[in-house]
Structures are given as structure tokens and as C-alpha cells.
Amino acid sequence: MALDSNLPRVLVSDKLSETAVQIFRDRGIDVTFDPSIGKDKERLLAELPDYDGLAIRSATKVTEKLLEAAPRLKVIGRAGIGVDNVDIPAASKRGVIVMNTPFGNSITTAEHAVAMMMAIARQIPQANASTHAGLWEKSRFMGTELTGKTLGVIGAGNIGGIVCDRAHGLRMKVLAYDPYLSEERAAKMGVTKAELDELLHRADFVTLHVPLTDKTRNILSADAILKMKPGVRIVNCARGGLVDEAALAEALRNGHVAGAAFDVFAEEPATENPLFGLDNVVVTPHLGAATSEAQENVALQVAEQMSDYLLTGAVQNALNMPSVTAEEAAVMKPWLKLAEHLGAFIGQMTDEPIEAINMLYDGAVAEMNLEAMGCAAIAGVMQATNPDVNMVSAPVIAADRGVRVSRTTQPQTGVFEAYVKMTVVTKTRERSIAGTVFSDGKPRFIQIKGINIDAEIGRHMLYTTNEDVPGIIGTLGRTLGENGVNIANFTLGRSEKGRDAIALLYVDDVVPEPVLTQLRDTGLFGQVRPLQFDM
């Protein structure tokens, strides 16, 4: 398919609704819809390098090898919650944003969990199979009521919160374990906040609604299952791997656990599992998001999110970068550029390994999206040695290098309504620079080495340090002029009369190395550094 080289390009490699594909077209994205390519590794490997974005469901596997073959790729959008099929660390290192759609199928998944809870409470699937077989085993399928029972919800986020709400309608008592759940939020939800052990001891039903991480893997371990009250029933419609399936199977066989309902498994597709074949277990093949409404919602959401990012820079529901709304992107654009420029200055001025970076945000800027601001600043630093680094990959690279990153905020302290100051620490010294954004939307450097200046930032610049003595301006102007280097702007600053002084020149073109050598040979300058900034 012929692609318009002037438009952002997106490949949809899995099944997505035609309405979602049309969103890309309507937003001005050149989109290729080929749901067959997701399972064809070789075709995908060959064609993906031509695209800026990749929209997927679960069939397409985004591996490190695939990412290495697609240097143009900027964003991967997963229509759904789970991203087990994407190598997120590899994507981060290559600066590719990975987005999911955590809200499009929330209601559907929560409803499935409630349905599964009802199924094991009344043994509906088993009774259905028995009745279809012509048996009338009325006395065999004795169930239990949900009314008045205690439901333990592990993970009270979006989906878990919906389950809590539905449980109230069933007149259940609700305990919630979630490290991020505040007492105020719990009270508003009408649930009792509990530690995990307390929940395990008290709950008649336990349902899981957390992502699979190193901290949550086997959160219901063999030991945790033993802490649960006899006769408990367990529901997992979240992620496989949250429960020790072998330990649970044993507890189901010996009667400690009365029933379990699982929609997800440690290994999928699940054709074998310790839970299969047990009479007191209900299983479904990962149907949590399988409603027509949910499939349409997540498809539309991923199309909008990817279009927003490729066209405006807005980042929503990213798993490896701070989110930036379209409104924030419009306001923060010059501030993000300033943060990048601050980092670029220090990155180009620093020749030894960086041990720590501190960001100070003063005044109005302290109320902005500081996670994104920090990513832009770190990217500026890292780009001095690796031009391919961006806001996504920079924090990963900094962490790999052992760089400590911190930030400080404070109310307005000076004449500027807001400013940003970056300080970098190496083994031998500290280096700092500060800047602000004026009402014209242009970033400015306002302080270097503690010396106040007002410097417009250009693509090509020259930075010098010297003692505050006569003749410096003349030497700079004459040397550059004699060599055909035009000065667009010239900024000076000094600590005090006769002491340290700096000059920052905005020039039209790169200053040739022989000209730099000529300046250094005068003996008047402590440093003569050419600088370049991405405008």
C-alpha cells in the first residue's frame, strides 16, 4: 500500500474495528490495516521499519528483535490492559512509548469477576452440565448466599473499585487490600481498608484485581492460602501468575478452599493446568474483556491515544513514560524544551561520569507535570553522548549508569514567576544552570555557574569563561568576524567586578575548530566550548 511520507504512519497488525481504523484516517494518520500480519513474524519484521506507530491486541508479539528492526517506531498502542506480549524494557531503551487502554474494558472485566463469583457460590456450570446430561441432582448442588458474606478485594483500583460497588448491591461486606488506597478513598468507596493477612483471615470470597509484577507474583502463595479461612472461594480474572495454582489445587482437593473461578492462568493458552478437572473449579478462556462493547471501546481508545501522541505529543496511559494530556502538552511545550536545553548545556559541558542530577522547580512551574519535565531534562543530558536518546529511554539509561535523580520544589523566590534549575554532580565538581520561559514562549538561560545572565538560546552557540578584564568582547567579536562567523546575539555576565565572567554567543553557524583554537591560544579564556541545541 502506498504511504504518504508527509503523514505519521501507523500499522494495525491485529483485529481492530473499522470504526477505530477510521479514527486514524480522520485524524490525519496514514494507516495500514492488516490483521493477518501480527502472526507473521517475518512480514512484520520486514514492514514495521516504515511506521511510526504499531496498534496491536494480543496476537502480535513485540520482541527486542522486532524493536531493533524498527528505528522509526515511536509508539505501540495495546487495545486492552495486558501487555505481556510487549517487551517493555526493550521498548523503553529504544525510546518507544508503550500505551494500553486500562479503562475501555473495566466494566466488562468487573462484571465477569462478579459472574464467576456467583457461579462458584451456586455451582452453576456443574449443575448446568449435570442437568443437560439428563440427571436431576438437586441435592448435590448445595450453594451459599452472597448476602452478608465478606468479600476480600485485592487491588482496589479501577476494576477492583467497580467490583466493590457491585458487591454493595449484593449486600456483601467488603474488605480491600491496596497499598495505594487511602483511608479517605476507602471511606468514599464504602469499603474497609485492610492489610493482606487480615483480609485473608476474614474473607469468605477473595477476588484479585492487580497487575502481575515482582511484588504481586504469587501473592496468593501456598502460605497465603493456608492463612485463609476454611471454605473460602477464590476468583482470579486479573492476571495469571498471581496465585500458586498447584498449591490452590491441593487446597481445593483437601477442602480448605471450597471453590475457585479462574479466567486467567500462569501459562496461556492454557491447555493443561493443575486446576483443570476439579469439580469445584470454574474456568473460562480469558474472557474478562470479551464483550462487543469492551472490544469496541478499547479499539477506539487506542486509536485516539496514538493519534494524540503522534499529532500533538499528548501521552495517555503510557506504561513507560509519565502521561501528558493534550492541555498539558500545549502549556508545557516551551518548558519541556527549556528542560531539554538545560540538560543539553550540562551534557555538552561535562566530560566525566555524572553521579547525580537534581532538578529545582521554582514558582508556577512547580505545579506542572514534573515527571515529564524531569524526563526531558535527563534526555537533554544523555543526548550529548547518545543522540538517539529521548524522554522515554533517558531515565532507563540514567538508571543503568547509576545516576541518582532527585527534585525539589519551592514557591516563587525571585523576580521570575517560575524557573527551572539543574545541578549535576560528578566525582570532582558540581555544575548548575537555570532557565525560564518568557511571555513570548521562548526559553532563556538566566543563570550559569551562579552568574546571572539573560541569554536567548539558538541552534549554534559559543560559551566562554574568563577573568573580568578589558578586551574580552573585542577579542571575541574580532576573531569571529575575521573568520566569517556571524553573531546573532551576545550575552555577558560576571560574578563581580574583576572576578569570574562568562559569555554566551548565539551564532548563525557552527564555529570551526581552527577558530576555537585561535581563541584558546589567546590565553584569555578558561573555557571555549561550542554548543548545539535541538530547536
Phi-psi category of 200—alpha, beta or left, where left has phi over 0 and alpha has psi -120 to 50?
Answer: alpha
Is omega for the bond preceding 269 within 30 degrees of 0, making it cis?
yes
Give, to the nearest 10 degrees, the angle between helix 292-312 and helix 106-122: 150
Read off the amino acid at residue 321. M
Alpha-carbon span 270 to 261, nearest angstrom: 14
Residue 496: CA count within 13 A, CB half-sphere? 0
Instruction: Please pick, among 27, 94, 209, 239, the residue that the annotation labels catalytic.
Output: 239
Instruction: Give me the DSSP letters along 453-471.
Output: EEEE--SEEEEEEEES-TT
CB 154 within 8 A of CB 208: yes
Other C-beta atoms closer than 10 Å to the C-beta of 441 total 10
Alpha-carbon span 83 to 45, nearest angstrom: 19
Alpha-carbon span 352 to 345, nearest angstrom: 14
Q: What is the DSSP letter of 229?
A: P
The alpha helices in 218-291, defined as continuous H runs, are: 222-227, 245-254
The b/e string for 220-258 (b: 16+ C-beta within 10 A; e otherwise) is beeebbeebeeebbbbbbbbbbbbbbebbbebbeeebbb
Instruction: Give me the DSSP letters along 304-366.
Output: HHHHHHHHH--B-SBSSS--B-HHHHHHHHHHHHHHHHHHHHHHHH--S-EEEEEEEEEEGGG
Residue 95 grid coordinates = 525510546
SS3 22: helix
Catalytic residue check, 286? yes
Give Cα 522 distance to the centre of its chain.
50
Instruction: Please pick, among 166, 286, 341, 444, the residue that the annotation labels catalytic.
Output: 286
Instruction: Please pick, among 268, 296, 417, 456, the residue that the annotation labels catalytic.
Output: 268
Sequence-distant (6+) residues with CB within 8 A of 520 are 528
End-to-end CA distance of the chain: 34
Q: Which of 102, 53, 534 is nearest to 338 (CA)?
A: 534
Beta strands in 40-111 (DSSP E): 53-56, 75-78, 97-99
The widest CA-to-CA distance across the chain, in whole angstroms, is: 106
CB 320 within 8 A of CB 88: yes
Catalytic residue check, 233? no
Catalytic residue check, 72? no
Alpha-carbon span 297 to 313, nearest angstrom: 22
Alpha-carbon Rg for the chain, nearest whole angstrom, is 30
What positions carry a catalytic annotation?
239, 268, 286
